[in-house]
Chains A and B, each alone.
Chain A
Amino acid sequence: MLRPRRLVVAATAVFVAAAAVRALLAYGPPSVGSPADWPTSTALLLPSLLLGWLIAVRVPTSPIGPALALTATVPSVVFTVEDWGTTVRTGHPWPAARVVDVVGAGAWAWLFLGFVTLVLLFPDGLLPGRRWRVLWVAVPFSAALVNFTVSSDPSEGRFPIRLPEPLRVALIVTAFATFLGVLLAAASSLVVRYHRGDRLTRQRLRWLMAAAVAVPLLLGASWLATALGAPGVVAYTGFLVAMLFVVPGAIAAAILRHDLFDIDRLLGATVSWIVTTLLSAGVFAAVVLVVGGYFPDRVGITTAAFVTALVLLPLYQWIHRAAGRLVDPDRTVALERIRAFVRRVRDGQAEPEQIESVLRSALDDPALRVLLRRPGADLAVPDGAIPLQTGDSVVGALVLGTTSARRIRRAREAAVEARLPIEVSRLRLELQEALAEIRTSRSRLMDEVNAERQRLERDLHDGAQQRLIAIGMRLRSVQYHLSPGVSAYRELDEVVETLEDTVAELRRIAHGVRPSRLDDGLAVALRHLVADSTVPVDLVVPEVDVGENAATAVYFTVGEAIANALKHARATRISIAVGVTDQVLRAVVRDDGVGGASEGFGLTSLRDRVASAGGAFTVDSPPGAGTSITVEIPLELPCAS
């Protein structure tokens, strides 16, 4: 199998040779046709050839490159054959001009060879199915048939053999019908492909289908126009333009618009290279002309080179960008959007976490995801994802929804541009997770502390206290058997009284460990708490179940606040308001004391206690205007159990 790139080289060689021959025919002694024909038709064919080259360079294995080159080469050969044959009617006939003229009469049928190849192979270089191989034979066969039919037209009088008229008519009908049928069949391969194809293939094919359908339609129209008597040049112009421009153009769009062969970068580089070269040549020439007038020696050339370099350096960047914008506006726009976002992040107008949605819209990939490495964990970069790096370590990955060479390259560029917000959001994520972990571990710790307090309290009540009472009861039993007059009787009285005091003391200790009154709810516990106050207390507290942690935190905070108000603030009145709104338990303790409470140890430990229950603690204590302590604890929603 021939290497596609060699085919392109061969096709180009044939194209150049044909063009040279035609140039000779046009400008040499035979002077076939008008001299304007040669540059026009060559220019018309060149885009296809160049496009073929681009793809051959970019994707050397793809047969699309040769197919495109073929769409340029075949017409140029056909035109050459036609021009060669025409010399027979000039004063300087070329060798074998008579035969070539006969062949050239219907040679236009071969023009479609490249087109059919393209349509059959696009976009992956494979036929849609095995049966389609028939077309490989049918195309040259029907083209040859048309060629023969047209050439043997007796009205031209060139063909040596005269066919009987009925046979000729049958031949014409068969040839043209077959030819049109083959063309339509080739075009219909696109429809088949479209139905089987995925989203991307369909998008690419849509372009080509429009063009492919246009070719046979315009050909039919051209035939109709010719039959109606329109001059050939007019009748076939539309069709020729369609085949030579619309099809390669559509293919170019399918390739460029849909990232098929990552052409745009090459194109951009080529365009900017050409423009830069031309400009530098122009600058060089201008400087040589201007400066050379005064210094006609080497100084002029050196100066020109120097000036050219000076001008070129800044110019190149600009041209490169301009060419990039021209050839690849999507990329320029995408990168500019990311840069604008980074600026807004720097100015504090945007949150770095929005980077994912920004990348999604900038890269036009709604399924794009930004994966960030969790602290302390390894990030498994999925296959095909683009790793995001800081220094040597991979901090994340971009996962694209749709991939192609161009998209991947563009996403890499975008990732570089978006380094700052990605890194910042990763760090913030790390911080958030660390904080969340601290919060949960603190509340877990507090749960355990509370459970431990509860256990301790229970042990005191059910263990030590109960034992002491049992001992006391035995002593009373002993006492029962004594007569009240003896001294042991009185002594036992004293011992039991001491025991009673000890039990009461134990009860107070157990209560300090964990207020057992919380068993009856926060409201009851608070009511008991304020009962010990020596100044009037206004207490507003609803009967609500707020859970052990929140209740304990509020209970101790209120207790401490009351103690502070009495001890330090010299308050004469205290008000306590507790309420639950929107799943937040809020307790406000106000006094009318001297204020100016400083964040001493007492307040700090209260703050810690409240924070351990996931709440916030604020103190407002302007000197001379009393103190107000607010505790806000979000309540967990009761689980349905």
Chain B
Amino acid sequence: MRIVIGEDSALFREGLRRLLTENGHDVAGTAESADTLLDVVRAVDPDLTIIDVRMPPTMTDDGARAAVTLRAERPDRPILMLSQHIETRHVVELVGTGGFGYLLKDRVLRVGDFLDAMRRVLDGGSALDPEIVAALVTPTRAGDPLSALSAREREVLALVAEGRSNSAIAARLVLAERTVESHMRSIFQKLRIDDAPDTHRRVLAVLTQLRS
């Protein structure tokens, strides 16, 4: 697949390019700042854009804002955001739209997981970093619907939130897919979420519930 990388650190950018190339992907363009990234993406029109949240010119959240711009131009354009640390400001509004992922940069080192997440995003699904999900799926107050979930259910929910399908969850937790489905029903019931078939909708639903 054709990929554009928006990343200001040359070390990281080149490392990523090498990893992706070795895994059979085509890095069709790179950009060192949010502004040039927009031009490159518009010119190349890649299958997937990987963007660092913190980029020049202001080194704050220029990457995230560029992602929002790109998404507004073409809502189905797959985007994978990378960040050095957890920040959720722009994540939720983008993740719900599908074809969007948000990972910590460390995840690149787990090449298999990373490529898997890329694939999900490219297919219009979601990919959320487990650490971000962990922060989101912890009950923060009394009466939080999350506190009603069992430990196993919370585990399943976290994987759902990462953007995984039931079969992927079953594989990960070494469970029968049926068991995962029954956990899901229980979770949706406890959280009062209507079940929906699309993967990213499930993520959206979960996140919306978590943020309320």
6 cross-chain pairs, A with B, having the tightest CB-CB distances, nearest first: A473-B15, A470-B11, A461-B84, A531-B138, A536-B142, A472-B109
Task: Tell me whether B19 and A476 are in contact (CB under 8 A).
Answer: yes
Q: Which one, B28-36, B85-93, B186-194, is touching chain A?
A: B85-93
Task: Tell me whether A499 and B88 are in contact (CB under 8 A).
Answer: no
When A476-B111, A530-B140, A536-B147 are in contact, do A462 and B84 touch as well, CB less than 8 Å? Answer: yes
When A473-B15, A473-B108, A477-B19 are in contact, do A466 and B84 touch as well, CB less than 8 Å? Answer: yes
When A474-B15, A477-B18, A519-B89 are in contact, do A469 and B138 touch as well, CB less than 8 Å? Answer: no
Q: Most chain-A Cβ atoms within 10 A of its Cβ — which of B84, B86, B104?
A: B84
What is the number of residues of chain B that contact chain A, defined by CB distance less than 8 Å?
35
When A469-B12, A470-B11, A474-B15 are in contact, do A539 and B88 touch as well, CB less than 8 Å? Answer: no
Q: Which of B114-164 contact A (CB under 8 A)?
A: 135, 138-143, 147
Task: Tell me whether B9 and A466 are in contact (CB under 8 A).
Answer: yes
The answer to whether B170 has its CB under 8 Å from any CB of chain A is no
Output the nearest chain B residue to A457 by Cβ-Cβ distance.
B85
Residues of chain B lying within 8 A (CB to CB) of residue A532 = 138
Q: A507-B84, A530-B141, A573-B142 are in contact. List 13 more A-B contacts (CB 8 A).
A: A458-B59, A469-B105, A473-B12, A507-B85, A507-B104, A510-B85, A517-B86, A519-B61, A520-B88, A536-B139, A537-B141, A538-B141, A539-B140
Residues of chain A lying within 8 A (CB to CB) of residue B108 = 469, 472-473
The answer to whether A182 has its CB under 8 Å from any CB of chain B is no
Interface of A is mostly: helix
The answer to whether A467 has its CB under 8 Å from any CB of chain B is yes
Q: How many whole Å from B90's CB to the nearest CB in chain A?
A: 9
CA distance A423 to B11 in the complex (A): 67
Q: What are the interface flags for B88-101 relative to A under an 8 Å C-beta threshold, 1 for contact and 0 otherwise?
A: 11000000000000
Partner of A500, one of B18, B106, B142, B147: B106
Residues of chain A lying within 8 A (CB to CB) of residue B139 = 536
Output the nearest chain A residue to B134 by Cβ-Cβ distance.
A531
Partner of A469, one of B15, B18, B85, B135: B15
Q: How many whole Å from B171's CB to the nearest CB in chain A?
A: 20
Task: Tell me whether B87 and A519 are in contact (CB under 8 A).
Answer: yes
Q: What are the interface flags for B52-72 relative to A under an 8 Å C-beta threshold, 1 for contact and 0 otherwise?
A: 001000011100000000000
CA distance A511 to B143 in the complex (A): 29
The answer to whether A450 has its CB under 8 Å from any CB of chain B is no
CA distance A539 to B141 in the complex (A): 6
When A474-B15, A539-B141 are in contact, do A528 and B135 touch as well, CB less than 8 Å? Answer: yes
The answer to whether B16 has its CB under 8 Å from any CB of chain A is yes
Residues of chain B lying within 8 A (CB to CB) of residue A147 = none
The answer to whether B73 has its CB under 8 Å from any CB of chain A is no
Q: List 20 A-B contacts (CB under 8 A).
A: A462-B9, A467-B11, A469-B109, A470-B9, A470-B11, A472-B109, A473-B15, A473-B16, A473-B18, A473-B108, A473-B109, A474-B18, A477-B18, A480-B19, A499-B109, A524-B88, A524-B89, A537-B141, A538-B141, A538-B143
Partner of B22, one of A477, A517, A530: A477
Residues of chain A lying within 8 A (CB to CB) of residue B135 = 528, 531
Residues of chain A lying within 8 A (CB to CB) of residue B12 = 466, 469-470, 473
CA distance A532 to B140 in the complex (A): 9
Q: How many whole Å from A513's CB to the nearest CB in chain B?
A: 11
Task: Tell me whether A511 and B109 are in contact (CB under 8 A).
Answer: no
Q: Most chain-B Cβ atoms within 10 A of its Cβ — which of A473, A477, A510?
A: A473
The answer to whether A80 has its CB under 8 Å from any CB of chain B is no
Task: Tell me whether B140 and A469 are in contact (CB under 8 A).
Answer: no
Task: Tell me whether B84 and A465 are in contact (CB under 8 A).
Answer: yes
Q: How many whole Å from A540's CB to the nearest CB in chain B?
A: 8
The answer to whether A496 has its CB under 8 Å from any CB of chain B is yes
Residues of chain A lying within 8 A (CB to CB) of residue B86 = 516-517, 528
The answer to whether A527 has its CB under 8 Å from any CB of chain B is yes
CA distance A528 to B87 in the complex (A): 10
The answer to whether A504 has its CB under 8 Å from any CB of chain B is yes
The answer to whether A219 has its CB under 8 Å from any CB of chain B is no
Q: Most chain-B Cβ atoms within 10 A of its Cβ — which of A470, A511, A536, A539?
A: A470
Partner of A537, one of B19, B84, B109, B140: B140
Residues of chain A lying within 8 A (CB to CB) of residue B109 = 469, 472-473, 476, 496, 499-500
Residues of chain A lying within 8 A (CB to CB) of residue B140 = 527, 530-531, 537, 539
CA distance A504 to B84 in the complex (A): 10
The answer to whether A26 has its CB under 8 Å from any CB of chain B is no
Q: How many whole Å from B68's CB to the nearest CB in chain A?
A: 15
Q: How many whole Å from B135's CB to the nearest CB in chain A?
A: 5
Q: How many whole Å from B172's CB to the nearest CB in chain A?
A: 18
Partner of A466, one of B11, B87, B89, B147: B11
Output the nearest chain B residue to A461 by Cβ-Cβ distance.
B84
CA distance A473 to B9 in the complex (A): 13
The answer to whether A503 has its CB under 8 Å from any CB of chain B is yes
Residues of chain A lying within 8 A (CB to CB) of residue B87 = 516-517, 519-520
Residues of chain B lying within 8 A (CB to CB) of residue A511 = 85
Residues of chain A lying within 8 A (CB to CB) of residue B11 = 466-467, 470
Q: How many whole Å from A575's CB to the nearest CB in chain B?
A: 9
When A467-B11, A473-B16 are in contact, do A503 and B88 touch as well, CB less than 8 Å? Answer: no
Q: Which of A444-468 contact B (CB under 8 A)?
A: 458, 461-462, 465-467
Q: How many whole Å from A633's CB to the nearest CB in chain B?
A: 23
Task: Tell me whether A469 and B54 are in contact (CB under 8 A).
Answer: no
CA distance A364 to B11 in the complex (A): 79
CA distance A537 to B138 in the complex (A): 11
CA distance A548 to B106 in the complex (A): 28
Partner of B106, one of A458, A469, A530: A469
Residues of chain B lying within 8 A (CB to CB) of residue A503 = 105-106
Q: How many whole Å from A262's CB to the nearest CB in chain B?
A: 73
